[in-house]
Chain A
Amino acid sequence: MEPVARVSGRMAPLDRADVDTDQIIPKQFLKRIERTGFGPFLFYDWRANGDFVLDRPEHKGAAVLLTGENFGCGSSREHAAWAIRDAGYHAIVAPSFADIFVANCFKTGILAVTLPPRQVRHLIDLATEDPATEVTVDLEAQQVRGDGFTYRFEVDAFAREMLLNGLDEITLVERQASAIEAFEAQRSEYFPTVR
C-alpha cells in the first residue's frame, strides 16, 4: 500500500448520527468482484432523493468527510470504505466509528479520525458556513489543523505505523511463520477440520 501521512483539503459535512453501511453503499452494488468502481454508488439512495449535501457544488471535491457518531455501523462490507475512497474522501472525522468499519478504513488507506463531539461540531459549522475552508488531517502529528485551531487525536499506534510506512500487514504476519507453526503443533486433536 502507498504510505499515507496526511490529507489536506476541503470538508464535506454529513451531519447525521448512526450512518450505517447499507446507506454508504447499498447492497445492489456489492456484486462487483473488484476493489474499485464503487464511488458512483456512494450514498446512492440519499443522492437519488435530490439535494444531498455532499452533491452540492460547494462541497464537490472535498477530501475530508465530517459526520456524526457511530459512523459505519451495520455490515462488515469493506465496500463501504472502498466507495468512500473512490469518491475522493481520504479522511473521515467523527465523534465515534463502528469497530469493523474503522478497521476497514485503515486497511483501505483512509484516515478515520475520532475527535470529541464539540470539535467535530466546530468543523461541521466551519464547512457549512464557509465551504472553501481547508483543513489538514495529519497522521504523523496526530492533529487536525486549520486556520486558528489545532485538534489532537489519538489513534491506534500500530495502524498508524502501517499507514505511515505503507507496510503490507500480511507480509509482517508471514514473518511470524515459526510462531504460527509452533501454535499449530500444539492445537488440540479434536479441533475439527472441514475434511
Chain B
Amino acid sequence: MPKTLAQKLWDAHVVRSTPDEPDLLYVDLHLVHEVTSPQAFEGLRLAGRHVRRPDLTVATMDHNVPTRGGVRAADDLSRKQMEVLAENCRREGIPLHQIGSRRQGIVHVIGPELGLTQPGMLIVCGDSHTSTHGAFGALAFGIGTSEVEMVLATQCLPQNRLRDLAVTVDGELPLGVTAKDVVLGLIGRTGISQGQGHLVEYRGSTIRGLSMEGRMTVCNMSIEWGAKAGMVAPDDTTFKYVEGRPHAPKGEEWEAALDHWRSLRSDPEAVFDQEISIDAGRLEPHVTWGTNPGQVAPVTGRVPSPHSDTDERALRYMDLKPGTPFADIAIDRVFIGSCTNARLEDLRAAARVIAGKHVHSKVRAMVVPGSTSVKKAAEDEGLDAVFKAAGFEWRNAGCSMCLGMNPDILAPGERCASTSNRNFEGRQGSGGRTHLMSPPMAAAAAITGHLIDVRELL
C-alpha cells in the first residue's frame, strides 16, 4: 500500500504494535533542556531507574540562560535549575552543552547544527517546537515531562497513530517574502487548531526551493496551528547541509545513509486525510495583530474588525483599533532571535536591511543568536559590527525574549516586533505586546520605529 513519508517514518520506529494499544515507538535522539527535565530525572531517581541510552540523549541550557554578562543566571531559581541539569547529566553520563561552552544554544538550533538531526530519525524533546527537526525528513515532536521520563528510562514512547495532512506550497516567493511569511500566511488561513491530531508534510516547489533554515522556520511553527509534527522530504539541499557536520555519517556510512535517505518520500499514490494548497506568488510579508499566531494579516493591510470574543479580547490586550493601518503602529522594542528565526541566514537577512542605517531613537533593539556557533559565525563575517553600528544590542545565545524566562522581557504595555513564534498574552513579559514577523520585517521596524512593509526599504 502506498505510504506517506510520515507513515514510513512511523512504521520504521515501531517496536511493538498491538490492537487497542498505542504503538510503542523507538526514539533515535532525545534532546533535553533545563526547564522540562528536572522532574523527569527526579522521577527516575525515586524509582531507582537510570537513563537507558545516554548515548542517544543530549542536553543543553537555553531557556533560562542570561544573554549578557557572564554565565551566572540572574536569579537563584534559574541557577538552581541549570545546576540540577548539570548534575543529572553528570550522574547519567549524558553529554551536556552547558552555558559558556562553544556548542551551547537553543536546543532546536544545535541539533541540526551538530549534525545530530538527520533524515529518517525519530526525535523528541520536552518542548513543543521540536517539530523544527522535521525539516530534515525526521519525525520530530514535543512531549511533556512524564513522557521525557518515559524516554529517559526506556528510549521508547507509546503513541497513538495520527492522521496525515499535506500542505503544498507552489510558486516563486515574491521579493521580501520569506519562509516565515509562508507559515504565518498558512496559519492565518487554517487558524490555530486545524492541525490537531495530524502529522504534516510540507511539499511543493516553494518548499523545495527553501534553504534548510527556511524549512526549519516553517516546520518550527507547525505546532502553532496545532499539528503534532511537520516535515519536509529530504533532498540534495538536506544532504548538503548535513554532510561534514560533527555527528554526520562519514565515508561508507555516508553512502549507506544517502541510499536510505533518498527513499524517504511519500509514495506518489499516497493518500492524505487532508490537503491544503497555497500559492506562494500571492503571499505578502505578514504581521500578527492579536494574541495568537492565527491572528495575522499582510502588513499592507489594516487591523481587522473582530469576528469573535477571542478577537475582541486580543484587540483590547494589544490596544489596537480596527481599521488602523499596520504602518501606523509604533513599536518600542525589536527582538531578533528564537528557534524560529535566529540562524545565520536569518541574521544575514536582517543585517542586509539595516546595513548603513540606524535604529529609530525611540526603539530598543536586540539580536540574540540561536547558538554560540551562530554567534561566532556571524562575528566571523562581520554581522555583529553591522548590528552594533546600527544600534542593536548583540547578545549571547539562548531563548531570551522569546519567552522571557531570563531578564530579557518587555515592560507592561511595551510593543515589540519579534521574529519568534508566539504572541500569546504576556509571552515576552507580563503586559507586553508582541507582533510576529520575519527577520527582515523586524529589522525594517527597528529602523523606522513602526510596523512597515520591508519592501519599502529594499
Which chain A residues have a beta carbon within 8 Å of chain B's beta carbons? 16-18, 20, 22-23, 26-28, 30-35, 45, 69-70, 73-79, 81, 96, 98-100, 103-104, 107-108, 156-158, 169-170, 173-174, 176, 179-180, 183-184, 187-195
| Bound CA span A104–B149, Å | 12
Complex contacts, A22 vs chain B, CB 8 Å? 403, 422, 424-427
Closest 7 CB pairs of A and B: A107-B146, A31-B77, A33-B38, A104-B144, A78-B144, A190-B253, A190-B249
| Bound CA span A78–B111, Å | 23
A124 to chain B, nearest CB (A): 13
Q: Is B264 an interface residue (CB 8 A)?
A: no
**A interface, by DSSP: helix, strand, loop or mixed?**
loop
Are the C-beta atoms of B310 and A18 separated by less than 8 Å? yes
Q: A158-B158, A190-B257 are in contact. Are A78 and B404 (CB under 8 A)?
A: no
Residue from A35, A78, A79, A176 whose CB has the most chain B CB atoms within 10 Å: A78
Q: A17-B309, A18-B310, A45-B425 are in contact. Are A194 and B403 (CB under 8 A)?
A: no
A42 to chain B, nearest CB (A): 14
Option from A34, A69, A157, A170 in Cβ contact (under 8 Å) with B39: A34
Q: Is B196 an interface residue (CB 8 A)?
A: yes
A37 to chain B, nearest CB (A): 11
| Bound CA span A169–B158, Å | 9
Choose, from B15-23, B276-284, B296-304, the stretch at the interface. Answer: B15-23
Option from B63, B147, B310 in Cβ contact (under 8 Å) with A17: B310
Q: Is B204 an interface residue (CB 8 A)?
A: no
Q: Is B160 an interface residue (CB 8 A)?
A: yes
Q: Is B128 an interface residue (CB 8 A)?
A: yes
Are the C-beta atoms of B38 and A173 separated by less than 8 Å? no
B24 to chain A, nearest CB (A): 6
Are the C-beta atoms of B28 and A18 separated by less than 8 Å? no
Are the C-beta atoms of B58 and A194 separated by less than 8 Å? yes
- Find the A residue at minimum CB distance from B149: A170
Are the C-beta atoms of A20 and B292 separated by less than 8 Å? yes
A100 to chain B, nearest CB (A): 6
| Bound CA span A170–B146, Å | 10
Are the C-beta atoms of B128 and A176 separated by less than 8 Å? no
Option from B143, B144, B247, B249 in Cβ contact (under 8 Å) with A81: B144
Question: Once A and B bind, how many residue pairs between them come within 8 Å at the CB atom?
Answer: 189
Option from B39, B56, B192, B313 in Cβ contact (under 8 Å) with A33: B39
Residue from A179, A190, A191 whose CB has the most chain B CB atoms within 10 Å: A190
- Find the B residue at minimum CB distance from A98: B226
Are the C-beta atoms of B156 and A176 separated by less than 8 Å? yes
B21 to chain A, nearest CB (A): 5
Are the C-beta atoms of A108 and B308 separated by less than 8 Å? no
Are the C-beta atoms of B35 and A156 separated by less than 8 Å? no
Complex contacts, A184 vs chain B, CB 8 Å? 26, 155
| Bound CA span A131–B223, Å | 35
| Bound CA span A168–B227, Å | 28
Complex contacts, B63 vs chain A, CB 8 Å? 30
Complex contacts, B310 vs chain A, CB 8 Å? 16-18
Q: A18-B310, A173-B154, A190-B254 are in contact. Are A100 and B77 (CB under 8 A)?
A: no
- Find the B residue at minimum CB distance from A156: B160
Complex contacts, B430 vs chain A, CB 8 Å? 26, 45
Are the C-beta atoms of A77 and B158 separated by less than 8 Å? no
Bitwise interface map of B from 362 to 399 toward A, beta carbon under 8 Å scored 1, else 0: 00000000000000000000000000000000000000
| Bound CA span A98–B95, Å | 32
- Find the A residue at minimum CB distance from B121: A191
- Find the A residue at minimum CB distance from B124: A76
B160 to chain A, nearest CB (A): 7
Sample (5) of A-B pairs whose CB atoms are under 8 Å apart:
A30-B405, A73-B193, A76-B127, A187-B28, A190-B253
Q: Is B217 an interface residue (CB 8 A)?
A: no
| Bound CA span A158–B75, Å | 42
Are the C-beta atoms of B80 and A33 separated by less than 8 Å? yes
Within 8 A of A (CB), among B141-172: 142-147, 149-150, 153-156, 158, 160
| Bound CA span A157–B55, Å | 34
Q: Is B440 an interface residue (CB 8 A)?
A: no
Complex contacts, B39 vs chain A, CB 8 Å? 33-35, 78
Q: Is B126 an interface residue (CB 8 A)?
A: yes
Are the C-beta atoms of A70 and B127 separated by less than 8 Å? no
Q: A70-B192, A179-B15, A180-B156 are in contact. Are A190 and B256 (CB under 8 A)?
A: yes
**Known pairs A17-B309, A33-B81, A194-B29 / 4 extra A-B pairs, C-beta < 8 Å:** A23-B424, A35-B145, A76-B126, A193-B55
| Bound CA span A190–B426, Å | 44
Q: Is B197 an interface residue (CB 8 A)?
A: yes
Complex contacts, B260 vs chain A, CB 8 Å? 188
Within 8 A of A (CB), among B103-146: 115-116, 118, 121, 126-128, 142-146
Complex contacts, B426 vs chain A, CB 8 Å? 22-23, 26, 45
Residue from A17, A27, A28, A108 whose CB has the most chain B CB atoms within 10 Å: A27
Are the C-beta atoms of A173 and B156 separated by less than 8 Å? yes
Q: A73-B192, A107-B147 are in contact. Are A192 and B249 (CB under 8 A)?
A: yes
Are the C-beta atoms of B196 and A98 separated by less than 8 Å? yes
Are the C-beta atoms of A30 and B35 separated by less than 8 Å? yes
Are the C-beta atoms of B24 and A176 separated by less than 8 Å? yes
| Bound CA span A195–B253, Å | 16
| Bound CA span A188–B258, Å | 12
Complex contacts, B160 vs chain A, CB 8 Å? 156, 158
Are the C-beta atoms of B49 and A195 separated by less than 8 Å? no
Are the C-beta atoms of B405 and A27 separated by less than 8 Å? yes
A83 to chain B, nearest CB (A): 13
Complex contacts, B158 vs chain A, CB 8 Å? 158, 169, 173
Option from A74, A107, A173, A189 in Cβ contact (under 8 Å) with B24: A173
Q: A30-B405, A31-B77 are in contact. Are A158 and B47 (CB under 8 A)?
A: no
